[in-house]
Structures are given as C-alpha cells and as structure tokens.
Structure 1
Amino acid sequence: MGEERLKFSLEEVYVPLDLMERQRDTMFEVQAGIDGQGDEIGAQTLGDLDLDRLLDRLVTNSEPNRIGIIGEPGSGKTTCLQKVAAGLLDLQLLPIWISLADLQGKTLEDYLLQDWLKLATRQIAIAPQLQQDFASQFEGGKVWLLLDAVDEMAIDASIALTSIDRQLRGWIGSAHVILTCRSNVWDSGKNALENFSTYRNLSLSDGDRGSPDRVQQFIQGWFRTQPNLGENLSTELAQPQYQRLRDAIKNPLRLALLCRYWLLTQGKLPSTKASLYRQFTDTIYAWKQDRFPTSLAQRQQLNSALGKLALQALSLESPGEPQARVRFRLHEHTV
C-alpha cells in the first residue's frame, strides 16, 4: 500500500485528551497499569476540560502564564501543544514554537534573536532595530513561548529545568510560557520550575463508566477512507483476550502504531505484549524507511544494541530512584 494512504491532517485524527491538574506540594502516587503507567492520586481531575476552555482561562490571566504539560512518552504532549498554538493563532495572539532539542547549547535569547528571527523573516542578517521591535512584543505580553520537549535537551534533566528557569528572565520573562516534558524528567528531583501550573495528559478514554470513547474516535479518524477496516479492528479489539492490548493502546502513540500495522497487514492482532511491541518496532522501521533507511541486518543490530543499553540503564538505577540517573532521548517527531 502506498504511503499516500497514510497521510493525515491533525484535525482528521485528533481526539481530545482529558487533563489532570497537579496540586503543588502534594505527594503523588501512581496506580500501576500497563508498563507502570496510571493515574495520579491526590490531584484535581479536570475531567472533560478541553484545550479551548483551558485557553479561555489562560488568556484572561493578567500575569504571564507558566504552564507545564507533562506525560508519558507517546501520550500526546506535542500534539496538545500544537492544538494550543492553533488556538492562540485563532485568537490573533503570537505563539512562538521552539523544539528545545534545536537549541544545541544556545540560550533562548540567542536562539530567538538569531535563528528564529532569521527563519521567520527569511533574512540573512537581523538588524538591531528589528531585534528591539521583536523584544517589545514580549514586553507587551503578546508573545506565547511554546517550548516543546524539555526532556530532549542534550543536558541532564535537573540542569535542563534549572536552565529554562534562569532564562525566563528579563524581556523573555514577560512572555507567557507553555512547555512539555516527560513525567519522569519533571519528577526526577528538585524542579526549578515548581512554580509552573502543571497539567498531565491522561490516557485515551475507551467509553468505560460513561466516558467518551476516544479510542474508537481515533480509529474512525484513522480509517476515515476505509471505514470497514476500522470497524473490523474495533470488532477484533472487543474480544476478551485483548483486554491488556486495549489497555496498552490508550496511549495515543501505541494506538497510532496499531492502526498503521492493521492498515498495512490487515492481520490478526498480537496476543501477547511481547509480540505487540515487536510488531510496533517493525512498524516504526517501515514507517520511517524513507527518512531513516535501514536493512534487515541493521535493524537486528540496532535492536540488539538498544537491548544492551536498556539493561545497562537498569543496572545503573539508584535504589528508590528509578530513571533518575539514566534517560533515553527519542524525538517525538521521529515517531
């Protein structure tokens, strides 16, 4: 099947995610689920608070907003931030998107005044007056900095959070700031951004307890041009033996990979978590073959090396502080 059948706009496959507002100075527990994921206890659940309502709340705030959107890998943090950007544009505000991995050691100020302005204006050199006019937009409270993926900065987690905090000073500090970060990085130790209001992406709802069936909505959007395929997948997923799989695909990335796999193979669903992740791995390789060409031998070597790296990471964990010392970085736009 051609790649042209696998291209979507954000609106075609986007489904709203519920958000949970985390209370400051509160110890959070996690109800164990698949892969240790779950919902936090002791936080205020915002239920069906969607991004439009959240934006309505934020834009009426007279002080610069400081918002953190956190979650597990593949939980939809970047997509959520993209929807925020679209909403801000609709309100004729000025969102500035920065993928923090692109800083490459530069400060936010240097990146904004040089790299970002050059891209935005398509100019080779930026005149001082243009830089001053640009800074005045910040000072007028018109700018919203959307900082994606603190966890993808090429520095230690605690240093990354502290670095962001120190850079949100002066004229840049007048901007509203919304950033995304993986939960394990945000909670890895003393957080210099603890003054941020923090929202956590919840898993996709599946219609349980009267909640909207976001999983089904996503499947319908993915197979919008081939509805029979989507119905067949939903019917297969409803079988009792796939309960753990249904839990796993409440993660948007996993659900996207499953839909991709089903579209390409129209095969039988995996019966174990191991086979599920093996198929997900094969699906990612095939999906990104045009950007990152790999042979079968290279894939096998890469899988072996990643397995050894994972074991090494586990052996380096501090007692009582899992993932505090070792982190993996995988750009979300890669997958």
Structure 2
Amino acid sequence: MKQAVVRRVREDAMQWFWDKKDDLGLARFVIYSKDSEAVKTFIEKAVKSSHLPKSGYDLHQDPNDGRKQLVEKIYHALRENKVEYDLNEYHELSGDRQLIRTPEEILDTQGKGTCLDLAILFCAICWYYDLLSILILVEGHALVAVSLTHSLRDWENEERRGKQLFWEGLGRLTDTRELQKMVKREDYLAVECTGFAKSETLSECEDKKFQREDGVLSFDQAVELGCKQLERPLKFALDIHIAYNFWWSKVVCQNRLEAEPIKRLINSPLTNGENPLLKLYVPLGLIERKPDAQRRRSENDFSPEGSSFNQPDYQYEVVRKYEHKEFFEEVLKQKSSSRSQGKRLAIVGDPGGGKTTLLQRIAYWILEEKQGLPIWVPLGSVEETDKANEGWLYRYLSETWLKNVAGEPEKTPIEWQQTFAELLKSGQVWLLLDGADEMALKSPLMRVKEQLAKGWADSVRVVLSCRLNLWEVEKEALWEKFDIYRTLEFNYPDQVHQFINNWFGEDNPKAKGLQDKLAEENRKRLQNLVKNPLRLALLCRIWKKGLGTLPDTKADFYRLLVENHYKWKDDSTNEEFDIPDDRKKELNRALGQLARDAIDREDFRFRLRESSIRKYLHRMKSFHCFGGR
C-alpha cells in the first residue's frame, strides 16, 4: 500500500529531483532504487558470477563478521561493475534542488555517479540483502554506514543503538558525536562509496594512504576513509527505514490535510476563492482562573435559557496575549505552557473567530518546521455510531482515517494499522481535533477527554478547537490537562483593513470603498462588529454584490446579513434562490423556533445536523418554500 503512494509521487517526474529542504525525502530514492529493474538485474548477474550470494541469511546468522562480509561482497560487486565517479552538472542543479541519477543511469546508460548517487545505490542493495543502512551527508560529501548488530527486519528493536535518537528525529540525526560513537563502537560500519567508482581526480584530493589502484579503493581503504569522512561537519544522517516511514507518513498527512480543511475553507463562498486569514492571524489570549474564583455549577445545573448562556465566565481572565509568532515559537515549538508543556492545547472562541484557520496554519507549520506529523480530525464528521463506541477516537483514526488514506473502500490494510500504531508511540503525531462543538452528543469535551486518557494517546500532542459557549459549559473537562487559549478580535483599523485587502485583492477599488465607509465618524459600533472574521467576511461578500451604504445599528447589520443570505447563489447551479418575501418571513419564524428547540436538546445545542433540520421543517408549511427539497 505504501508503494502505491510512492509510485504516485515518483510518476510526477521523469527524472529524480531532491528538494534539499526535504531531508526525509532523500530516503525515498533508496526505495525507488531497490525496486528498479537495474538493481534486480545487477544482483542477478552478480549472483551468477559468484560476487554476491543468493541470500544474505547465512551471513546474518554469523555472530562474528557475517554482516561485514556481506557489506564487503556488495562493495566488490559494485567495483567490478566499473562505474566511474562524476561530478559535473549532477552535483548541484541549483541551491535548493539536486538531480539524482537513477540506478539505470549509474549501472547502464551512463555508468557514472556522484557521491550521493553512489551512496543511495549502495543503500538500495543493502536493503535487498536485509542490511540496515544509514545515509550520511557531511559538508560537501555523502557516504553510508551499515549496521553490524541488527538486520533490516530488526529496525524496530529497542536495543539497537541509535534507534531512539533517529526515532526522535523523525529518521534524522544531526549529532556528530553520537554518529561517531556508533561507528567507533563498531555498531555501524562506515563505507566510502566513491571507493568502488573509478576516479583519477579523487586520488589527488585524498590522503596518501588512500591512493587508488586502477582508480578505485580496496574495501579496507573505503572503510577507513569512511571513518575519516565523519570528521567533517555533519549535515544529517538518515536511518533509511525510519526516515522512509516518516516521509511516507508526512506525504499521507499532507494529502489528507488538502482533502479536509483547505478544501472546505477555500471552497466556501465567504473566502472569495482564497482564505483571507492565511496571511492574517487573530491574536490569542491565555485563559487562567482568577485566584478568588469559585467553581461554577455543573452542566446539569446550567440552564441555557438563563441570562449567562453564551456570556463570558468572569471567574476566568485572559492573563497574557500572544501574537502569531509568539504562540508558534513559545507554545508550539518550545512547549512553554504551564499546564501541559505544549502537549494538550485548546483553542476556544466565537463562531467565525479563526479557530479552524489557526488549526490549519498549525498543521502546515508542523510539516514545514519538521515538528512531526499532523492528523486532522473534523470531530463533527465522526459518525454517531463511531462515537457510541467506547474507543471511538482510536477506532476512527485506525479505521476510517487510515482507510481513506489507503484508498481502500472496505477495510484498512493490516500493515497500515501496524505502522500507524507505531507512529502513535513515536511522540511525533499531532492530533488536530477541529470543532468539538459540532459533535451531536452530550458533553463532547468530556467524551474527548475520556478518549485521550487511554494509553494510545500518551505520546500524542493534541490541539483542540471548540466554540466559546461549549467551553463555558464544560470547561472543567479540560482544565486539569489542557492549556486554554481564546481567539481575540482583530484590531481596527490595521487588521480589519488587511483582511478586506486580502478578501478583495490588493488595489481593488471596492476594498478601498468599504474601508472608507467603515472609517466614517458614526461607524464605531459597526467597526467593533466587524472585528470578528466571519462577520467581516459576510460584509465583504455583500459589499462585492453592490451594497453602497452601511447599516447604522447592530440590529440593522444582522437584518442585512439575513436578507442577503437568501440572495446567495446555489454553488452547484450558480443561480440565486428564488424565495418570495412572504415565504422568507415564514421560514424565518420556523428557523427561529428550531433554534429555540435545539437549545433545549443536549444533542442539538451546538450543532444542527442537516437530516434533523429537514425532518423538523418537513412538518412545517415553510418547508415547501424549497419546493419540498
């Protein structure tokens, strides 16, 4: 199943290009190479000529030098192929990308390769023989180290030296001393891969003790030179198997991100084709309980019809304001949060306050900054039957989410489930739980808390979003384990104006017209209302359609939003809804009654499902204004 993902990525280009910002991506070229026809043909010929064994099994069983002997046989077989070392245009295509030769080019059509080309090829053949290899990039050079203590099938063995270091680094190691220790203790054997490639120019650069005979190095020389190369400044070393698994997981997570929040945000008619919040960030406020505060009544004693429903709880206060960069650097990267050390974070705020967009930015920041693997979970989309299950969150992740990733309509492949279980233990997974308020069940925050208390989530970092009114009701469910941050409003005029420019596009006269209208002396109340991103987006949309004046009061503003809502086009037909005025009034009354009834129902209080709305309106005369749809 992983191979299907790899093949799709590989087919994107005829040549192999490595983006140097994607360290883990280098591991995939080893996988490409090991599966190539050129490598298979090379091994078949080497077996026939007795340079390589049919299988490395017997040598792996040798407790002394079995694996070293196997590495030496691979080295000699490649040396017999008479490949040449070459720098030229393949060394560096540009500052950010490098062209990688394929095995066909190295072994057949061109017969030459750079140090990186040769190191990747060596790792690929090691993989075929169940040897666990490390691809090493030092300043200006690349080489390989091969495990002498464990085979590839033992890559998960906790006793393997360096395994935990590579695991914590998502397959990468940047500590020169740790790498040198592994080689010095003979846990790994360093090999200079240019040694099996013929070169006259390299002889001039190397120490006299590494003089080449007929342009190549002996195996012992290659091992000694490999150790010496580790004295150069280390860029990074990749444990191929671990790095490949994390690279594959990164591709999978990114694909799912693009299938979930971005599609929903960008396709929304409120975004004008692009999310205007992507270049603009709402500030966050850290919420703490006041020193003299007493615990609020439980949810069972709480009446949503009371005057405090949806109002701030004054026993809590914002004790610190975070701008975008501060939050990402201090809280997410440095894990500087008092209650959870960055492991459990909740983002609460008003509808349309930027919570989902913030989670989206966190997801891409995780990938860009190599902080782990983000998994997006739209909580409102989790089926009710799943939520009835005691382990519904893990079940959703390991079955529904993985099944979508694998593209399997029936059942999640067992190998994917096994890999996923290991990833959850790695400490590299982030769960981005969006919209707890959209879960149609009683006490959603308590239900999420119960799921995260199970053992599988111990090493997982969590960022959860929910509306302020739900948190007000259920705050005690999160208070012990979570650090709570509230989305704050835009400032006026700077951020409001920037949002308008983002929505319309820079230098758009409509944007300037709306900004000028908002700046009029009698617009103070409206200026405060549009500090909320959702309300501002609604106003931008109405202004685009030809609105020439602005409402004077809050009631007029909301009336304007309701009236224009009926004029929105159906996205599927690009035609406006045709609803007569008398039907609108009837429908308004029906929807108002539905809202009141929903407040009294625990499973409806924070989200109305479409099926329930249809069922409710079907009993009312207003429903027929939709023609019975």
Scaled by the length of structure 2, the TM-score of the pair is: 0.45
| Residue in structure 2 matched with residue 127 of structure 1 by the alignment | 413
| Residue in structure 2 matched with residue 94 of structure 1 by the alignment | 373
Counterparts in 2 of 1:139 and 1:311: CA distance versus 1, 3 Å: closer
AA aligned to 1:200 is R
Counterparts in 2 of 1:301 and 1:99: CA distance versus 1, 3 Å: farther
Q: CA deviation at 1:189?
A: 4.1
Q: Does 1:185 align with 2:467?
A: no
Counterparts in 2 of 1:284 and 1:310: CA distance versus 1, 3 Å: same
* Aligned-residue RMSD, C-alpha: 3.3
Counterparts in 2 of 1:51 and 1:196: CA distance versus 1, 3 Å: farther
Report if the CA contact (8 A) 1:147-1:178 is conserved: yes
User: Is there any run of 5+ residues in structure 2 with no aligned partner, and where?
Assistant: 1-267, 295-309, 387-391, 610-629
Once residues 5 and 165 of structure 1 are traced to their aligned partners in structure 2, the CA distance between those partners, rounded to angstroms, is 33
Structural mapping, 1:180-259, within 5 Å: 180-189=465-474, 191-194=476-479, 195-207=481-493, 213-224=494-505, 227-259=508-540
Structural mapping, 1:292-303, within 5 Å: 294-297=577-580, 299-303=584-588
Report if the CA contact (8 A) 2:490-2:532 is conserved: yes
AA aligned to 2:445 is L
| Residue in structure 1 matched with residue 393 of structure 2 by the alignment | 108
Q: Does 1:42 align with 2:327?
A: no
Q: Percent identity, aligned pairs only?
A: 36
Q: CA deviation at 1:304?
A: 1.6
> Which of the two has higher C-alpha Rg?
2
Q: Does 1:274 align with 2:552?
A: no
Structural mapping, 1:141-156, within 5 Å: 141-156=427-442
Deviations 1:204-236 (A, max 9, x none): 1114xxxxx110111111121552111111111
Counterparts in 2 of 1:185 and 1:51: CA distance versus 1, 3 Å: farther
Once residues 592 and 362 of structure 2 are traced to their aligned partners in structure 1, the CA distance between those partners, rounded to angstroms, is 36
AA aligned to 1:46 is K
Which range moves more in the overlay, 36-45 or 112-121? Answer: 36-45
AA aligned to 1:83 is R
Report if the CA contact (8 A) 2:441-2:603 is conserved: no
Once residues 65 and 241 of structure 1 are traced to their aligned partners in structure 2, the CA distance between those partners, rounded to angstroms, is 46
Counterparts in 2 of 1:171 and 1:201: CA distance versus 1, 3 Å: same
Local SS of the residue matching 1:192: helix
Report if the CA contact (8 A) 2:349-2:468 is conserved: yes
Once residues 284 and 40 of structure 1 are traced to their aligned partners in structure 2, the CA distance between those partners, rounded to angstroms, is 37
AA aligned to 1:254 is R
Once residues 101 and 161 of structure 1 are traced to their aligned partners in structure 2, the CA distance between those partners, rounded to angstroms, is 13
| Residue in structure 1 matched with residue 615 of structure 2 by the alignment | none
Match of 1:21 among 264, 286, 306: 286
Q: CA deviation at 1:23?
A: 1.4
Once residues 341 and 528 of structure 2 are traced to their aligned partners in structure 1, the CA distance between those partners, rounded to angstroms, is 40
Report if the CA contact (8 A) 1:13-1:222 is conserved: no
AA aligned to 1:8 is G
Once residues 118 and 299 of structure 1 are traced to their aligned partners in structure 2, the CA distance between those partners, rounded to angstroms, is 43
Once residues 440 and 269 of structure 2 are traced to their aligned partners in structure 1, the CA distance between those partners, rounded to angstroms, is 34
Counterparts in 2 of 1:8 and 1:227: CA distance versus 1, 3 Å: same
Once residues 38 and 214 of structure 1 are traced to their aligned partners in structure 2, the CA distance between those partners, rounded to angstroms, is 27
Higher relative contact order (CA 8 A, sep 6+): 1
Which range moves more in the overlay, 67-76 or 168-177? Answer: 168-177
AA aligned to 1:119 is N
AA aligned to 2:485 is Y
Deviations 1:270-322 (A, max 9, x none): 122222112212334444622598541564443221222345578x6xxxxxx
AA aligned to 2:497 is Q
Q: CA deviation at 1:4?
A: 9.8
Deviations 1:60-82 (A, max 9, x none): 44967100000011111111111
| Residue in structure 2 matched with residue 319 of structure 1 by the alignment | none
Once residues 235 and 39 of structure 1 are traced to their aligned partners in structure 2, the CA distance between those partners, rounded to angstroms, is 36
Q: CA deviation at 1:12?
A: 6.9
AA aligned to 1:10 is N
Report if the CA contact (8 A) 2:423-2:429 is conserved: yes
Aligned residues: 308
Match of 1:57 among 320, 324, 331: 331
User: Is there any run of 5+ residues in structure 1 with no aligned partner, and where?
Assistant: 29-34, 208-212, 317-322
Local SS of the residue matching 1:7: coil
| Residue in structure 1 matched with residue 204 of structure 2 by the alignment | none
Once residues 595 and 270 of structure 2 are traced to their aligned partners in structure 1, the CA distance between those partners, rounded to angstroms, is 34
Which range moves more in the overlay, 141-150 or 232-241? Answer: 232-241
AA aligned to 2:331 is R
AA aligned to 2:534 is L
Q: Does 1:170 align with 2:455?
A: yes
Scaled by the length of structure 1, the TM-score of the pair is: 0.80
| Residue in structure 1 matched with residue 345 of structure 2 by the alignment | 67
Report if the CA contact (8 A) 1:51-1:84 is conserved: no
| Residue in structure 2 matched with residue 79 of structure 1 by the alignment | 357
AA aligned to 2:428 is K
Q: CA deviation at 1:245?
A: 0.8
AA aligned to 1:178 is V
Once residues 121 and 12 of structure 1 are traced to their aligned partners in structure 2, the CA distance between those partners, rounded to angstroms, is 31
Once residues 222 and 167 of structure 1 are traced to their aligned partners in structure 2, the CA distance between those partners, rounded to angstroms, is 39
Once residues 288 and 558 of structure 2 are traced to their aligned partners in structure 1, the CA distance between those partners, rounded to angstroms, is 34
Report if the CA contact (8 A) 2:285-2:485 is conserved: yes
Deviations 1:161-213 (A, max 9, x none): 11101111221332100010111111114632212000000011114xxxxx1
Report if the CA contact (8 A) 2:399-2:412 is conserved: yes
| Residue in structure 1 matched with residue 16 of structure 2 by the alignment | none
Deviations 1:90-141 (A, max 9, x none): 1232101111011122111111111111111212332223201101111001
| Residue in structure 1 matched with residue 607 of structure 2 by the alignment | 329
Local SS of the residue matching 2:491: coil
Counterparts in 2 of 1:102 and 1:25: CA distance versus 1, 3 Å: farther
Once residues 509 and 444 of structure 2 are traced to their aligned partners in structure 1, the CA distance between those partners, rounded to angstroms, is 47
Once residues 204 and 71 of structure 1 are traced to their aligned partners in structure 2, the CA distance between those partners, rounded to angstroms, is 13
Once residues 38 and 262 of structure 1 are traced to their aligned partners in structure 2, the CA distance between those partners, rounded to angstroms, is 35
Counterparts in 2 of 1:12 and 1:201: CA distance versus 1, 3 Å: closer
Counterparts in 2 of 1:38 and 1:269: CA distance versus 1, 3 Å: farther
Once residues 352 and 271 of structure 2 are traced to their aligned partners in structure 1, the CA distance between those partners, rounded to angstroms, is 19
Counterparts in 2 of 1:188 and 1:38: CA distance versus 1, 3 Å: closer
Report if the CA contact (8 A) 1:68-1:197 is conserved: yes
Once residues 608 and 592 of structure 2 are traced to their aligned partners in structure 1, the CA distance between those partners, rounded to angstroms, is 15
Which range moves more in the overlay, 294-303 or 234-243? Answer: 294-303
| Residue in structure 2 matched with residue 31 of structure 1 by the alignment | none
Once residues 121 and 43 of structure 1 are traced to their aligned partners in structure 2, the CA distance between those partners, rounded to angstroms, is 43
Report if the CA contact (8 A) 1:55-1:87 is conserved: no
